[in-house]
Homo-oligomer: A and B are copies of this chain.
Amino acid sequence: MFLVADNLQITNPVFQKAVSERDPVPIQDCVKRCVAAGAEAIDVNAGPLTKEPEERMAFLVETVQAVTDLPLYLDTTNAAALRMGLSVCRNRSVINGVSLEPKKLEEMLPLVSEFNVDIIGYLLYPTGQVPKTAEERLAVATELFAEIERAGISRERIIVDPVVPPLMWEDGVEQAMAFLETIRTLPDLLGFPVRTIAGLSNLTTGAGPKEKKLLVERTYLPMLASCGLSEVLMNAFHDETVRVARTCKILLNSAIFAWEAIP
């Protein structure tokens, strides 16, 4: 299970200010801390980038890759900004991401072939709504892979995100279990080792005590891991959760156990 840090979010006023003033320091500090904490990729969440989209995305990517060689997940709904980000990115890059929403398919898929990169595929209906049951998620996955194929893109390019539901939703707990079943079933359904990703913090979206949120996330993460999740998008500064994530990796991937490997 590959650990993608979600710490760099432009909605954070500190980073917003840094980007508008072209100040690399707060951004690079954050990235360095993520790397030190054990992140294996950095999600560069630039948001919709309504102002100076290309300039700001270029600045973000240049600023981040100046301090790390880790893969960058370019996370924006702005296609022009995304193209610019991919153009200037020298690290391995991943597009975050596409779904069955027509505008997304149209704008994002051509970039996959053009820049020869992987892309996250969200299991959402064309309307942007989240499917409820595992069956609904799997049906959407089949549709999404059909679109990918129609676009001439290799199915191995896709990292499927079945969209972690907030537990606070009326059927949030049920959907969280449906998410697990989706992760577990996808490779059998599609007949190849489908890669999957989950945004862990989605689970505890909304009001709630921080310490309990962390407990719930730490408990859900090994469930995800044991269902075969390939990548987790998470806060790299949550030390205890990172320890659990690294322990999951050891339990799932190690040939021989050694206490020295446990964080």
A residues adjacent to B (C-beta < 8 A): 167-168, 170, 172-174, 176-177, 180, 208-209, 212, 215-216, 218-223, 225-227, 243-244, 247-248, 250-252, 254-257, 259, 262-263
Contact = CB atoms under 8 A, between A and B. Distances in A.
A180 to B, nearest CB: 6
Residue among A167, A243, A255 having the largest count of chain B Cβ atoms under 10 Å: A167
3 tightest A-B CB contacts, nearest first: A223-B226, A222-B222, A167-B257
B257 A168 contact: yes
A177 B259 CA distance: 18
B173 A259 contact: no
Contacts of A167: 257
Contacts of A248: 219
26 contacts: A168-B257, A173-B251, A173-B254, A173-B255, A173-B256, A174-B255, A177-B252, A209-B259, A212-B262, A215-B243, A215-B244, A215-B247, A215-B263, A216-B247, A216-B251, A218-B218, A219-B222, A219-B244, A219-B247, A219-B248, A220-B222, A220-B251, A222-B222, A222-B223, A223-B225, A223-B226
